[in-house]
Structure 1
């Protein structure tokens, strides 16, 4: 057991340069956009998943997150006439939109197969096939009421540029809502594969893509002039009998790795070793293997004239050094402040 723990520390310390990139300072990330992900490979993976006759079997995770995101949209007591859904896929969000909250929505995705397989919702919808990574969104300035995105932006190289474009097209007091995979997603799979390759091959390659951390997401929203920002996280654990069913599902939902430095082949011996390590380190009491999906939800508003302003900070007349005397101070002030006739 001591040997496995030491290997775990080695695996976590030897993170790839891609993972380090997402943990550098926000200024560096904004000024040095790196081509981390192969967008052509991601397009091919999406088309292959969309053409799978069993594609409906792999919708469970994105369908659930899309429903939760659309439910948060309903919490905003406003009718949005113009909406844009980026990375729409098979309509994870648009299928849940209702006419009483959305007037018209434009669904954007890189994959024609994914968009073509999306069910028609009750909202008037237009579908647009384009790669938003590094591109200018085809909407005029200040023309969109709400922008949504669900589990697609973790594959975008130029996130600062895309967030800037979203802010440009939003109307004043427009809202940007989304969900994205967080840094702890598939941590069990990542560690197990690294340990297995260290043992069987003497080194390891990244098999799980790097994810944005919550502080990076908050910085992106702040730097792109979004206000009244709210970010919260949710951990979803899916149980699998073995590692092989997990990897099958990742491929079926087009979430297999598309980083440029990915290893194209994984040895059979390493796969079996990873499954054994996964079970030894993380198995539940019933023997199933948990797969963690960390989700970041956020909402940010474009500044507008009618937005509520934050309250001015309250100035206290009691110092922190007197915190141990609060009862005495409160009693003294209470007696002093009483009218003369009541003293």
Structure 2
């Protein structure tokens, strides 16, 4: 599946080139994969009563998908994206000049953040995930780790426990994101920090558009491929409501080149990122898939025959309040007016003369 690099560095072990830029909109559920994990699991009895705007995802199915992906012969084959984002979160941890005695990784998977951390930064890490197979097959890390099987929607820890909480590409599958943020804030110690990453709304827009156009052409309509998740403009508000302060929210894009549509969907399945929405379409017809592959290549194909897949990432940083933290000055306490700044500019110009 290797693609030719286009003037950018490739993800470790993937052989697939990266391009990245900016942009932001809303989060959406990734399209279903081709093989057993996505196709075999139909909604259980009673699913309709639990589905809806307040609970769009089947968490039990998501656990099955992630467990299946972790048990593959080469589970690390499709981890290139998670490892890249995990490294970028670790970089943000390194930017904070302190040592964290106890940290928590929410939705850790196989430990994509832990492998990039050092003992000088994090002394001990608790890894939490709903998929026990992912925790059992965790990658090596130089820091001591403890694995806990638990749902990210209900953290089993006491208040004021952790100095640092991190989360990479997991919270976009949580049904109640405001509650998840509140629980993360609750388990943090005062002056603790949360650093997280989620998929953004422009993720896989090429695949989404190709599937919709193919379904319209072949079946006379298309199934919903977009889930009602938060926009990047709302993340700051949600974090603030959860109690976080000194917030930072930014976006990034990673573009990976693939041989075709089927390889994109195969790797999504290998990542454990198949669709788990209650209103998902269990199967796509063969003719629709072939049409979508042709549309994908025609609309977005590269000159070398590969096709790009764009992954938009939302990064967020929030702190739990502590008296020692810097506070904004009181209104009206400034000693220099904006009018004085214009005079200062004139003074600098005269000095240069």
Q: Structure 1 residues 33 and 159 mapped into 2: Cα distance closer, same or farther (>3 Å)?
A: farther
Alignment partners' CA distance in 1, 2:187 and 2:226: 33
Within-5 A mapping of 1:304-319: 304-311=322-329, 316=337, 318=339
Within-5 A mapping of 1:192-271: 192-207=210-225, 209=227, 211-271=229-289
Residue 64 (structure 2) aligns with: 44
For these two proteins, the number of residue pairs brought into alignment is 300
The partner residue of 1:72 within 84, 92, 117 is 92
TM-score, normalised with respect to structure 2: 0.79
Residue 155 (structure 1) aligns with: 173
The partner residue of 2:130 within 103, 110, 124 is 110
Determine if the alignment matches structure 1 residue 84 to structure 2 residue 104: yes
Q: Structure 1 residues 122 and 269 mapped into 2: Cα distance closer, same or farther (>3 Å)?
A: same
**Alpha-carbon deviation of 1:317?**
5.4
Alignment partners' CA distance in 2, 1:33 and 1:142: 31
User: Could you say which structure has the larger radius of gyration?
Assistant: 1
1:239–1:290 Cα contact (<8 Å) kept: yes
Alignment partners' CA distance in 2, 1:43 and 1:330: 61
Residue 174 (structure 1) aligns with: 192
RMSD: 2.7
Higher helix share: 1
Residue 99 (structure 1) aligns with: 119
**Alpha-carbon deviation of 1:172?**
1.0
Gaps of 5+ in 2: 1-25, 31-51
2:112–2:139 Cα contact (<8 Å) kept: no
Residue 295 (structure 2) aligns with: 277
1:209–1:258 Cα contact (<8 Å) kept: no
**Alpha-carbon deviation of 1:276?**
1.3
SS at match of 1:81: coil
Task: Give deviations 1:73-118, integer Å, cap 9, x for gaps.
Answer: 1111011011000000000111222111111111000000000010
TM-score, normalised with respect to structure 1: 0.81
The partner residue of 1:125 within 133, 136, 145 is 145
Alignment partners' CA distance in 1, 2:323 and 2:274: 44
1:181–1:211 Cα contact (<8 Å) kept: no
Q: Structure 1 residues 18 and 286 mapped into 2: Cα distance closer, same or farther (>3 Å)?
A: closer
1:207–1:263 Cα contact (<8 Å) kept: no
2:192–2:319 Cα contact (<8 Å) kept: yes
1:141–1:169 Cα contact (<8 Å) kept: yes
2:29–2:275 Cα contact (<8 Å) kept: no
SS at match of 2:265: helix
**Alpha-carbon deviation of 1:207?**
3.9
Alignment partners' CA distance in 1, 2:248 and 2:64: 34
**Alpha-carbon deviation of 1:316?**
4.0
Alignment partners' CA distance in 1, 2:53 and 2:178: 9
1:195–1:274 Cα contact (<8 Å) kept: yes
Determine if the alignment matches structure 1 residue 35 to structure 2 residue 55: yes
Alignment partners' CA distance in 2, 1:316 and 1:281: 54
Alignment partners' CA distance in 1, 2:323 and 2:85: 32
